[in-house]
């Protein structure tokens, strides 16, 4: 979800010495050998007196696209099930807006995508894996922020094209676009050009004819031909629904994009962090894609979809 997120870009850092370090990395270690702050080694979430179950209110924010709202609702209801006081502030905007609000304490928790967050912060991972991305995040995030356990669920940025274009031009990977990019218009979330124009040039040598902000209509714009290439996220049901082709990314431009809670450490306590880590332990890519079909295609209410998933996984 590069987000409008999606995505959809530190972990591992021991928290305040006022409490014993939480073994928040346990879940992440079991799935990725890394910290709790995103799937790497281990980090604590915050002082036990700070928030969550200690009586203060945890404020859950989300970006302004359906998947992030869904994830925010899952986080919110998982916390409420553990007796945490929660305030929801969904559909706020892009990462450029959300990140500052988390830093200043207006928000407590955001559903993030680790690779996209790292890219936004200008950090570099030695390899595009979850553990390496989270290790780089640990070095890049300010001391006030931390990531909790990364889930196995990934919503990766893709460059997608129509099946017709794939067949006509024999396009299978982003690398294959080099010969046609100058003739193609590319679309995506409004911030996609700012985030990815230079990386696409640097990594794949791509210079497109035009960039269009297409937002949630990107898949449809590819299908109707108003753009030829689009930033469609990998869990977007429109890829299957519209028979789009997500081009392979052999040079790992987008890297890991694991769904990961990003938190303000001073405003979240151990019980709240544990509840969020329990969500990460259960959430996988296939499951997230199935949830997104219910929201985006079947038009079910994200809150109801979140509630059903939490109950099915023993978290609600």
Same domain, 92 and 166: no
pLDDT of res. 127: 83
Q: Rounded to whole angstroms, how far apart are CA atoms 129 and 120? A: 17
Let me know how long the chain is.
316
Same domain, 191 and 291: no
pLDDT of res. 316: 87
Distance of CA 284 to the CA centre of its chain: 13
Residue 14 belongs to some domain of the structure: no
Q: Which residue has the tokens 């019980």?
A: 271
Residue 126 belongs to some domain of the structure: yes
Same domain, 238 and 265: no
* Whether the predicted model's global pTM rises above the 0.85 cut: no
Same domain, 126 and 217: no
Same domain, 186 and 294: no
Look at the chain and report how many structural domains it folds into.
2
* Contact in structure between 7 and 158 (CB atoms under 8 Å): no
The least confident of 46-55, 72-81, 307-316 is 46-55
User: For the chain, how far is it from start to end, CA to CA, in angstroms?
Assistant: 24
Same domain, 287 and 141: yes
Residue ranges of the alpha helices (H) in 25-140? 25-32, 66-81, 95-103, 114-121, 130-140
Of 229, 246, 263, the residue at which a domain comes to its end is 246
The domain spanning residue 199 has which CATH number?
A: 3.40.190.120
The answer for residues whose C-beta is within 8 angstroms of residue 154's C-beta and 6 or more apart is 113, 234, 256, 257, 258, 259, 285
Range of the domain at 182: 157-246
Q: What is the mean pLDDT of the chain?
A: 84
pLDDT of res. 55: 60
pLDDT tens readout for residues 79-136 = 999 999 999 999 999 999 999 999 999 999 999 999 989 989 998 888 889 999 999 9
* Contact in structure between 191 and 4 (CB atoms under 8 Å): yes
The domain spanning residue 37 has which CATH number?
A: 3.40.190.10
Same domain, 279 and 151: yes
pLDDT above 70: residue 160? yes
pLDDT tens readout for residues 223-244 = 999 999 999 989 999 998 999 9
Same domain, 232 and 149: no
pLDDT of res. 50: 38
Same domain, 64 and 202: no
pLDDT tens readout for residues 253-309 = 888 999 999 999 999 999 999 999 999 999 999 899 999 999 998 999 999 999 999
Higher pLDDT, 90 or 1: 90
Same domain, 205 and 57: no
Residue 17 belongs to some domain of the structure: no
Q: Which residue has the tokens 């269009």?
A: 212
The answer for residues whose C-beta is within 8 angstroms of residue 312's C-beta and 6 or more apart is none
pLDDT of res. 191: 87
pLDDT above 60: residue 178? yes
Distance of CA 79 to the CA centre of its chain: 19
Q: Which residues pair with 112 in a beta bridge?
A: 260
Residue 45 belongs to some domain of the structure: yes
pLDDT of res. 110: 98
């Amino acid at each position: 979800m590069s987000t409008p997120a999606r995505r959809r870009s530190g972990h591992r850092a021991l928290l305040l010495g006022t409490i014993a370090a939480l073994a928040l990395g346990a879940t992440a270690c079991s799935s990725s050998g890394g910290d709790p702050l995103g799937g790497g080694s281990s980090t604590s979430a915050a002082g036990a007196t700070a928030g969550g179950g200690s009586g203060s209110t945890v404020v859950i924010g989300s970006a302004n696209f359906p998947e992030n709202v869904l994830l925010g609702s899952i986080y919110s209801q998982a916390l409420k099930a553990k007796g945490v006081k929660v305030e929801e502030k969904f559909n706020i905007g892009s990462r450029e807006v959300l990140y500052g609000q988390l830093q200043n304490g207006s928000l407590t928790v955001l559903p993030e995508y680790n690779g996209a967050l790292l890219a936004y912060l200008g950090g570099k991972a030695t390899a595009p894996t979850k553990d390496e991305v989270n290790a780089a995040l640990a070095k890049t995030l300010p001391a006030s922020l931390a990531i909790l356990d990364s889930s196995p669920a990934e919503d990766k940025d893709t460059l997608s094209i129509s099946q017709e274009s794939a067949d006509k031009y024999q396009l299978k990977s982003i690398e294959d676009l080099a010969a046609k990019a100058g003739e193609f218009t590319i679309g995506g979330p409004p911030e996609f050009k700012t985030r990815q124009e230079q990386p696409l040039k640097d990594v794949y040598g791509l210079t497109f004819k035009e960039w269009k902000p297409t937002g949630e209509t990107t898949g449809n714009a590819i299908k109707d031909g108003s753009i030829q290439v689009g930033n469609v996220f990998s869990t977007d049901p429109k890829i299957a629904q519209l028979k789009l082709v997500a081009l392979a990314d052999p040079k790992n431009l987008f890297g890991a994009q694991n769904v990961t809670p990003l938190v303000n450490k001073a405003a979240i306590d151990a019980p709240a962090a544990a509840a969020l880590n329990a969500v990460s332990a259960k959430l996988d890519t296939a499951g997230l894609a199935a949830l997104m079909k219910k929201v985006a295609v079947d038009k079910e209410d994200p809150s109801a979809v979140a509630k059903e998933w939490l109950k099915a996984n023993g978290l609600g």
